[in-house]
Amino acid sequence: MAKLKKVIPAILAEDPKALETMVREAESFASYVQFDIMDGQFVPSRSITSQDLMAVPIKFSWEAHLMVERPEDYLNDCREAGAKKVVFHYEATSSPQSVISRARELGLEVGLAINPETDVPAFLPLVDEVDSVLFLTVHPGFYGSKFIPEVLDKVVELRQSRPSIAIGADGGIKESNIIQIAHSGVDEFCVGSAIFSQPKPAERYYHLVALIKEVSSPD
């Protein structure tokens, strides 16, 4: 049976004013959004915090993509801010199992994010413990980074090993490559600049949704 594929608008904002603008914009078309939280250490850039998210009324459901060192230190604040799910990087902690366990204790869904250089066997033992795996198809930390097509080979590898796991891709996704990405086995497409850096974000979102609608996952 084909999996339902979905486009998840990804909001990367550097300050509270930009955050509120993008939230209001996303409310016109999105029911679920990803917020990027960056600490300036795990990745070079720094972004809004969970405290900033607490200060903005948010009508849609959302997840936090934690591009941070010590992701376990962010879990309580994410839950208090209203996150449904946290996605943390396998490479950001020496004990990913403890991050997963703590997130579960807080009632959060959990996703495991994977940098482009990390091979599937390294994190495969953790896949059965999480709700999804998110492959970074760029070097993380910036809007508009260059897409790395070789990551799709890892999507195929994981899909063959774990046919039922929800697999996401994040970074450099746009009209010209989203169908190729979908055919590799990706279910969830986290899209930032190809939506929010465009003159009509809602129009671009619906266009991307239409492009993937007829593509089935290779179960």
Query: Is 170 considered catalytic here?
Result: yes
Report CA dihedral (19, 8, 144, 41) to the nearest 10 degrees.
60
Task: Exactly one of 39, 52, 170, 187 is catalytic; name it.
Answer: 170
Is 85:64 a contact under the CB 8 Å cutoff? Answer: yes
Task: Give the separation between CA 89 and CA 91, rounded to whole angstroms.
Answer: 5
Structure tokens at 207: 């266009």
Q: How far apart are CA 208 and CA 212, in angstroms?
A: 7
How far apart, in whole angstroms, are the C-alpha atoms of residue 50 and residue 99?
Answer: 17
Active site residue 153: no
Q: Pick the catalytic residue: 36, 39, 52, 187? A: 36
- Give the gyration radius of the chain's Cα atoms: 16
CA distance 88 to 2: 27
The residues carrying an active-site annotation are 36, 170
